[in-house]
Amino acid sequence: MTRIVIIGGGPGGYEAALVAAQLGAEVTIVDRDGLGGASVLTDCVPSKTLIATAEVMTGFDSSHEELGIEIDHDGDGIGDEVRGIGVDLGKVNRRVKRLALAQSHDVTASVTRAGVRVLRGRGRLAPHQGPTGTRRVEVTDERDEVLDLEADCVLIATGGQPRELPDARPDGERILTWTQVYDLHELPEELVVVGSGVTGAEFAGAYQALGSRVTLVSSRDRVLPGEDPDAAAVLEDVFRRRGMNVLARSRAASVKRAGDRVEITLADGRVISGTHCLMAVGAVPNTADMGLEEAGVKLRDSGHIWTDKVSRTTAPGVYAAGDCTGVLALASVAAMQGRIAMYHFLGDAVAPLDLNTVSGNIFTDPEIATVGYTQEDVDEGRIVARVVKLPLLRNPRAKMQGVRDGFVKLFARPGTGIVVGGVVVSPRASELIHPISIAVDNSLTVEQIAKAFTVYPSLSGSIAEAARQLHTHRGDGEQ
């Protein structure tokens, strides 16, 4: 029986384990913190649970008056301007942790039922292969005892952790990483978020919705600098309109405690302060002190593991998946990398990883979902495509729901009309992107999308309408 050892129990690790077990391998997962990894315990599941509460707050605040809903705040009539709803952050965070642990237990039960052995401990590659060409993994358990495992194949899926700046060390109380915010018992009165990428934007929007006064410090000229520029512009406008203080082109040089407050010194000498500071300045891979380079595994300058499109590293019999590879920091991509690795090693049919079909979502309000080729690809000439963008203001369901911000954008090849990408900015964009993902993955044409029935009224009707416009307009450029 083929022996496989997986170091790391996140999506890349546990999804790979399920595939390998299904294909008849003897599988062991070595994990330190609990199956599900950061995605389940400290990242995706917790943050989206927190955001779920924020969504309720935002949806009510932004549309209750337009929808005709009134609140009697104090029992003596309607019309009090004081906000009538609030949150108990301690209760919210207890729910966050409870759901994260429950999901981790579900993952553990799933892999255990599949026959996978789970070892709690820290794994590292031994420097030399075994006498039969196999790989050895050294596991240090919770009692500091070392166990040697021999494997025909090793998958590294150790993920990453928040990047820390030398002059802005988190203390877990006032200066926080995104893994530490769930220990807060009270809502930050004034929260400064350093970093305007996906993590920074999600938390900034969530805490503002929960009731914090938020300042977002961005070193770039706009929020979400790596995303669709039209989508980023919509979100930044929403942030500012809701009262967020967005500081563009403002790099944080240092962060320090000042009693019960935090002072953030910017590179240009300005000093801003708040009651709390959330550092969202990227992540670093968990690849240090794992014996990787000694075992022949090539690391990039960033510390990420080099892999090819079937998840192989430069060391025979060693594969890697997830955030430790730096390919694309999405749980879905990590899971696919892990599955591809096992299919490839165990000789099953496998297609190489294709990032042009990956869909992603930013859980702000409104959400931003993307798939396939981007506006930047079109602008830079990497692909020739026609573009149509439809504002949600034209959508009847959006009008009924009081939704004013957002759009649907489709990219299609001229001539053939094959859909090669899309952007959706709207409530529940994470759900609306799926038909566009199917189109991109299966090379469907705008004609095929336009002919498919949609419910009236529905937000998805805008996807069909965009496809109809692309089918009608044969010229290049945005319509």
Residue 72 — very low, low, confident or very high, per pLDDT cuts 50/70/90?
low
Please state, in angstroms and rounded to a whole number, the distance separating the CA atoms of residues 464 and 394.
13
User: Phi then psi for 58, rounded to 5 degrees?
Assistant: -65, -45
**pLDDT tens digit sequence for 260-287:** 999 999 999 999 999 999 999 999 999 9
**pLDDT tens digit sequence for 183-234:** 999 999 999 999 999 999 999 999 999 999 999 999 999 999 999 999 999 9
Please state, in angstroms and rounded to a whole number, the distance separating the CA atoms of residues 140 and 165.
29
Tell me which H or E stretch contains 344: helix 331-345
Residue 68 — very low, low, confident or very high, per pLDDT cuts 50/70/90?
confident
pLDDT of 78 > 50? The answer is: no
Q: What is the DSSP code string of 104-124?
A: HHHHHHHHHHTT-EEEESEEE
Provide the 8-state DSSP code for 306: P
Tell me which amino acid residue 329 is: A
CA atoms within 13 A on the CB side of 10: 33
pLDDT at 62: 65
Q: How many CB atoms lie within 10 A of CB 73?
A: 15
Q: What is the DSSP code string of 88-100?
A: -HHHHHHHHHHHH
Round the average pLDDT of the chain to a whole number and report it. 93
Is 58 exposed, middle or buried (CB count within 10 Å of its CB: 0-12, 13-18, 19+)?
buried
Q: b/e map of 172-197 (b: 16 or more CB within 10 Å)?
A: eebbbbbbbbbebeebbebbbbbbbb
Tell me which amino acid residue 267 is: A
**pLDDT tens digit sequence for 323-349:** 999 999 999 999 999 999 999 999 999
**pLDDT tens digit sequence for 121-144:** 999 998 877 667 789 999 999 889
Are 306 and 332 a contacting pair, CB within 8 Å?
A: no
Give the 3-state secondary structure of residue 227.
Answer: coil
Are 134 and 151 a contacting pair, CB within 8 Å?
A: yes
pLDDT at 473: 60
Expressed in percent and rounded to 5, the helix, strand and coil fractions of the chain are 35, 25, 40
Range in 70-74, 85-89, 203-207 the model is least confident about? 70-74
For residues 230, 235, 239, 241, the Cα torsion angle rounded to the nearest 10 degrees is 60
